[in-house]
Structure 1
């Protein structure tokens, strides 16, 4: 499943989001599979979660269900039960291969109020010209120093926002390869400070636009669900060709839904 983290929900921690999702699953009556043992828990696998304080249009998790279901029905019901600012965007039936292995890179948008376009371009040029740009960050294993330059595949400056807003304002567009430790967009902003003294007067607004497989030829981040969608289309054609019709259930692992008329409603506006 792909979901978006928008508006004020960007300040929610990963643990807060996990709790909200589990409550929404119960409200939407999605038949989630649970682990065995003394303390069963829902079989949900998160991967590549964005840091607290960062908005995202491309967060992913995998969910094991006990019954077959139409993915779009699951999406509609679960989205209606989620809190405002957490939006379920896309649901597909998983095929072979782990989702985490497909999330190779992320595309980010970083808004820098108070930064002049010429200053940003000079800092970006210095960053890209450097062999390494080391920054320091506190991690779960303590304070670590690591290189940010090697993970950055693309870094561009868009100064058009200054004219639109009638203020000093730039937007950075970047593609970052997933590494260990992970290089985050705020690490890149810190790297710009290291190499060129670029210091935004206020906190940047960071949004993940996409994450998925990396196209080696173009350097673009592609859709991690592309293989699942192709497999579902092929499966549908096979059912039609064999004369079973389109009313067959989805493959095992998705949920069989009750009538959607009982689903809760929610405003579709976003912060």
Structure 2
């Protein structure tokens, strides 16, 4: 006897793209736990979701460019595929009302009205603020030495074991802020270079220990303009 074929689900009638923030203690939450919180919130808010086909249908929720665990972010993105069209602003407010404190919807728009391309295609760089309460006194000199170096190899444990990669190549902009921290723009690459990789490389070039206390905040994420080094809004209108 042949196995019964699964019911085919209708495609989404609308895709709503949402920018949300990860703040406060929620910065220590993993992406897996954040995604679970969003999926529960979608159910609690009664948002009419479209579902995938197959024997185990799941709501059409797409994530892109998640910040590393331990970092705060003002620029996280998720896309909801809906079975019924609605006002994106209303959907954003309904979702925000049932999300945990620290996961906050910033804006919600109709994906059909934004720049063409998948969310992943529109997230090619990130702007980070790095607060360093224990920054070395010669931080400016360290930054200058790092930027003058063509390649800086660092190692990080990944799912495939220890990987060695160049953290310098992904740095679009790096400067010391008035508060003594770092302002950093990183181009997304494979393997991904994270702010903590930059700090490792900076310490390696300058010959000092990586500062023990660091607060990472992603303030923007979007499409990199290679000529200006600026990051465009992935939810901007066409």
TM-score using structure 1 length: 0.78
Verify: 1:87 aligned to 2:97, yes or no: no
Coordinate RMSD, CA, aligned: 1.1
Instruction: Tell me the alpha carbon deviations over residues 23-76 of structure 1, each in whole angstroms, 9 at most, x when there is no partner.
Output: 101111001111122211111111110110010000011110000101100010
SS, match of residue 144 in structure 2:
helix
Q: Would you tell me which structure has more strand in proportion to its own residues? A: 2
Is the helix fraction higher in 1 or 2? 1
- Contact kept in structure 1, 2:75 and 2:219, CA below 8 Å: yes
**How far 1:87 moved relative to its partner?**
0.4
Larger Rg: 1
Alignment map for 1:221-260 (pairs within 5 Å): 221-226=231-236, 229-230=237-238
Deviation at 1:215, TM superposition (A): 1.7
Q: How does 1:5-20 map to 2 (within 5 A)?
A: 5-20=22-37
More deviation, 18-27/213-222: 213-222
Secondary structure of residue in 2 paired with 1:198: coil
Aligned position for 1:112: 132
The residue that corresponds to 1:143 in the other structure is: 162
Gaps in structure 1 of 5+ consecutive residues:
162-169, 231-271
Cα distance in structure 2, aligned partners of 1:56 and 1:225: 16
Quick one: distance in 1 between partners of 2:120 and 2:135?
35
- SS of 1:150 mapped into structure 2: coil
Distance in 2 separating the partners of 1:153 and 1:216 = 9
1:103 aligned onto 2:103: no
Corresponding position: 1:35 with 2:35: no
Q: Which runs of 5+ in 2 are unaligned?
A: 1-17
The C-alpha deviation readout for 1:152-197, integer Å capped at 9, x for no partner, is 0100001x32xxxxxxxx2100101000000000000000111002
Q: Is the 8 A contact 1:3 1:58 kept in 2?
A: yes
8 A contact 1:114–1:200 mirrored in 2: no
Does 2:230 align with 1:215? no
Q: Which residue of 2 aligns with 1:191?
A: 201
Question: Structure 2 CA distance, aligned partners of 1:40 and 1:27?
Answer: 18
Q: What CA distance in whole angstroms lies between the structure 1 residues aligned with 2:206 and 2:24?
A: 31
Distance 1:145 1:201 in 2: 21
C-alpha deviation, 1:201, in angstroms: 4.2
Contact 1:58 1:211 (8 Å CA) reproduced: yes
Is contact 1:214-1:222 (8 Å) kept? yes
User: Take 1:41 and 1:139, find their aligned partners in 2: how far apart are those partners?
Assistant: 28
1:2 aligns with 2:22: no
Residues 185-225 of structure 1: CA distance to partner in whole angstroms, max 9, x if unpaired?
Answer: 00000001110023244231000010101123311111111
1:185–1:206: 8 Å Cα contact kept in structure 2?
yes
Aligned partner of 1:171 in structure 2 is 181
CA offsets, 1:204-262, max 9 Å, x none?
10000101011233111111111xx24xxxxxxxxxxxxxxxxxxxxxxxxxxxxxxxx
TM-score of the pair, normalised by structure 2: 0.89
In structure 1, C-alpha distance between the alignment counterparts of 2:123 and 2:88, rounded to whole Å? 21
